[in-house]
Structure formats: C-alpha cells, structure tokens
Structure 1
Amino acid sequence: MSVPEQPENRVVATDVRKSFGPLEVLKGVSFTVPRGTATAVIGPSGSGKTTLLRTLNALDVADSGVIKVGDTEIDFGKPVAKDQLKRYRAQSGFVFQSHNLFPHKTVLQNVTEGPIVAQKRPRAEAEADAVELLDQVGLKDKRDRYPFELSGGQQQRVGIARALALKPKVVLFDEPTSALDPELVGEVLGVIRDLAVQGWTLVVVTHEIQFARQVSEQVLFLDQGVVLEQGSPAEVIGDPKEERTRQFLQRILNPL
C-alpha cells in the first residue's frame, strides 16, 4: 500500500501534560515529527515514553496541551467532543508491544477488521488491501492462519499490517520488539525500516539504540517526563550534550 500523500501527515505536540493521580508522568512535552520522517523515542523505564505515545493516539487522554496528528488538532486543556476525539484517533495507527491480535480470527480477518467495521469500507476492497499489506510484511502465505499458529515476530508483523490497513497519516510503535525472542527482533525491525524508507511518518518508542541511530531522522531522549534532549541521531546518540543522556547510553551500549 502506498504512503498517504497528504501534506499534513505529521505530529506537532505542544506542552503536553499527563498525570495518573498524584503521579505527574508527562511534564510539558513539546516536539514535532515532520511528514515522511521517523522519530525514535528513547529513555529509561518509567520516563513516560509509552504514556507519551498513547497520548498521541488518545488511548490515554492528555490533561492539557495541544496535539496535532495528521489534519486534526485538539487542545486537551478544553472539553473535547466525542466526534472530535474519534476523528483524532483515526489519524494514527498503533502497534502494541504484545500484538493484541484477535485470537479467534484469521490473519486476514485481523487485518480487515478495522477497515470493514470501523471505516465501513467494502469487504472486497479491504481484503485486497490486506493481502497487499501481508505481502509487504512477508506473510501473504499466512493469511488463513490463526495467531496461535504464528511466531511472535510473525504476529507483530500482522500487527503492523493491521495498523497500516487503516491508512493512517502517522504510525505509532510502542516498543515493538520488547516482547520478542532475540532471534525474532530483526524481522520486525526490518519491516519498520522498510516503512521509513517508503516515507511513512513514524514515531517509534524503542530500546534498540542502534536501530534508532540507523532509521530515524530525529531522536527524543525522555527522562522523568520531559524531553531532555532532541536532535538527529548523530547529535543525541553520537554526541549527547546532557550528562544524563550520556549515562543512559553508556549503560545501554556498554552494559558490562
């Protein structure tokens, strides 16, 4: 499937804040993901990476701040209508850590569920797109299999195809390899790398630092709910300005 060509395929977040009870998780996060680029979000556990990604899709609704995803902008400091939130959520596709496939549906049915049920697209059209996407992620021959018959890496690739089937303007990945055995990581990262080359707009929360260095145009280092450092991979990973960033990378890249 070709990349949606709308010029507004980007993300702009301004002063985004999110708390869970007394715990302030995001403390005024701002950044822009330009159209057709990949942004990697890195940082220690508990830094707010997943919460940040979930606010971009409103799986977790921000307490305040303005976020524009695709062609829909919401000021979360004001009341948000349900139809506006629905339109906002439709701008992005979300790839979860743990696949979240329907176990009782085939691979093809998993990929077509959203387009047919949520977007009311004709079944024949949705199935044709799904087959194309499954071919793109190397799973066309698995279309009639069920999730339990697939490896973890194959399930995650189905999850990626499912997100793309919604024709989103932005694709969000939440630690897409964290639940995989080490030997399966490469096949999933390869698919994401191909999407980046094709010009999809991507935001990838990842602990794969070398992957972030190779694939992304921008890296955000998140620590304690703030973007402590952002820039190109050469800047943030290759020559970080902040001591906290250097400490984190040292532990990740040289664990012994």
Structure 2
Amino acid sequence: MTSAPDNRIDARDIRKSFGDNTVLKGISFTVPRGTATTIIGPSGSGKTTLLRSLNALDIPDAGVVRIGDVEADFSGKVPRDQLRDYRAQSGMVFQSHNLFPHKTVLENVTEGPLIVQRRPADQVRAEAVELLGRVGLADKHDQYPSQLSGGQQQRVGIARALALQPKVVLFDEPTSALDPELVGEVLSVIRDLAVEGWTLIIVTHEIQFARQVSDQVLFTDRGVILERGTPAEVIDDPKEERTRQFLERILNPL
C-alpha cells in the first residue's frame, strides 16, 4: 500500500449480494477529506449495505476502498490484520444506538479506545469527558443508557465513534429511530462536526438536513448511484426523473 495525499475516501466498483439478491451493483465514488457526503434514496436501494460495506461490517464481494493511506481490496480475501487496520479508519453511528446497557455513558465512550486500541486510560478518559461535553452530555457521565432519552443515547453513540479518532465517521440514518422532537438535537451535533471539518458519510431520509450539511449528495436506486452532485444540483434541480419522483414524494407528501 502506498501513501495517499490526504484522508479522502475512494470507493471503486463495490459489489454486494445476499444470496440471489444483488444489492450493490458496482458503486464508485470519492469523498474528499473534510467534507460531508449524504446518501439518499428509497428503501431497499442499498444505502445501509453500502455504508456497512465501507466499514467492512458487511464484507463486499468485490471492489476496492481506500480510506486515507489504508486500502482494502475485496476482490480477494483480505488478511485479518489488514482488515483490522482498515476498519480502524472509520467510526460508525447506528440507527438504534447499539450502546452497552450495563455500562455507564462514560464507559460506553471509553470502551473502544481502551479495549481495542489499548490507549492509556487517563488520556482516554480525558478525551471522553471532552467529547461528552461537545455533544451536550457533560452531566451524564455516570448514567446508564436506560436513563437517557433516545436523542441523548444517539449523542453518546456519536461521542463513542469520535473517541476512536477515525478518519471518517459513518452515520446510518441516525435519526430514524427517534421521536420527531428529538431529531433536531442529533442533527445539530452532526452539523457541528461538518463545520469542524470532519469527513462524514451520512445515510439519511432528512432531505432538508442533507441540503444544509452536504458538500455532495448521492442518490441511490436499485443498487447504483443514479445521480450525484451538490445539494443544489441533486435536491433542487435533479436531472433524473427517478430522483425527481423520489424527492417529490418526500418533500410533498399527501
């Protein structure tokens, strides 16, 4: 593997099937360092599978992904140590929080850096305290997930992902499991990360949020990227009829 000039993400010809169901049909795109890319599209279009493939939670059947200077070629079997290094480049924020219920907020955030990365405990704790303050949870260190609202749990999930010091943060529909009144607090945290220059890939159904936060929007349908561009190009002035139909249903529901 050779060094890349920056921490951008390059995905080339990503393919994934589950049995006879081909979900990703050769997807390629680039996310420049310090930018936010949102992925929109109908249910079943492959958005979550694409995100999980980038993180190698689902191993692609084929394709090459480079995050910074770490590359994984999924056309063959990726060696275990290389796969571990590759996965360490990204942090994942899930739909349903996926917090450890028996651990406190602070323990959830420090788990990965301590156990997986084996970093010094004092340093990890100090960083976790700072991160929890950044996501508005400075007073929740000793509480358990069951004592938090859904929005607070998701903000813990964001802090947990950032604690791993990833080069890219992946968000899988981070507001889909939240009550409507809690959506704004989570989107506000993500918006702040974009402003701070984190490299973000966000699967979302929040079109107005995608318009506000994105440098690049990808519209996926039936396992391919059908349209890509800036929010002004894809959301405000889509070229493809399928994109226009999708946005009309989302933005102007009956």
Query: Which TM bucket (shorter chain)?
Result: over 0.9
CA RMSD of aligned residues (A): 0.9
Shift of 1:9: 2.0
Residue in 1 aligned with 2:57?
59
| Equivalent residue, structure 1, for 2:165 | 167
The AA in structure 1 aligned to 2:29 is: F
Return the letter of the residue paired with 1:53.
Answer: L
Q: 2:21 aligns with which of 11, 20, 23?
A: 23
SS of the residue 1:142 aligns to:
coil
How far did residue 71 of structure 1 move? 1.9
Q: Which runs of 5+ in 2 are unaligned?
A: none
State the shift of 1:7 in Å.
5.5
Q: CA deviation at 1:79?
A: 2.0
Q: Does 1:38 align with 2:28?
A: no
What are the within-5 Å matches in structure 2 for residues 106-255 of structure 1? 106-255=104-253
1:56–1:69 contact (8 Å) kept in structure 2: no
Q: Which of 82, 85, 97 is residue 95 of structure 2 equivalent to?
A: 97
Counterpart in the other structure of 1:79 = 77
Letter in 2 for 1:151: S
TM-score by length of 2: 0.98
The alpha carbon displacement at 1:69 in A equals 1.6
Q: Alignment partner of 2:139: what SS? A: helix
SS at structure 1 position matched to 2:86: helix
Distance in 2 separating the partners of 1:71 and 1:192 = 25
Stretch of structure 1 that moved more, 6-15 or 49-58: 6-15
Partner Cα distance (2:239, 2:11) in 1: 23
Tell me, in whole angstroms, the C-alpha distance in 1 between the residues paired with 2:162 and 2:89: 11
Could you give the per-residue CA deviations for residues 151-199 of structure 1, whole angstroms, max 9, x where no partner exists?
A: 0000000000000000000000000000000000000000000000000
In the TM superposition, what is the alpha-carbon distance from 1:10 to its structure 2 partner?
A: 1.8
TM-score, normalised relative to structure 1 = 0.97
Distance 2:101 2:21 in 1: 35
Following superposition, the deviation at residue 63 of structure 1 comes to 0.3
Q: Give the whole-Å Cα distance in 2 for the aligned partners of 1:10 and 1:158.
A: 26
How many equivalent residue pairs? Answer: 251
Aligned partners of 1:70 and 1:170 also within 8 Å = no
Identity of aligned residues (%): 76
Where 2:92 maps in the other structure, the secondary structure is strand
| DSSP-derived class of the 2:77 partner | coil
Give the distance between the partners of 1:135 and 1:71, measured in 2 at CA.
Answer: 31
Q: Is the 8 A contact 1:7 1:35 kept in 2?
A: no
The list of structure 1 runs, each at least 4 consecutive aligned residues, that deviate by more than 6 angstroms after superposition, is none
- CA distance in 2 between counterparts of 1:246 and 1:48 reads 19
Question: Residues of 2 paired with 1:199 and 1:7: CA distance?
Answer: 17
Instruction: Give the aligned residue type for 1:231.
Output: G
Q: Give the Cα–Cα distance (whole angstroms) in 2 for the partners of residues 157 and 7 of structure 1.
A: 32
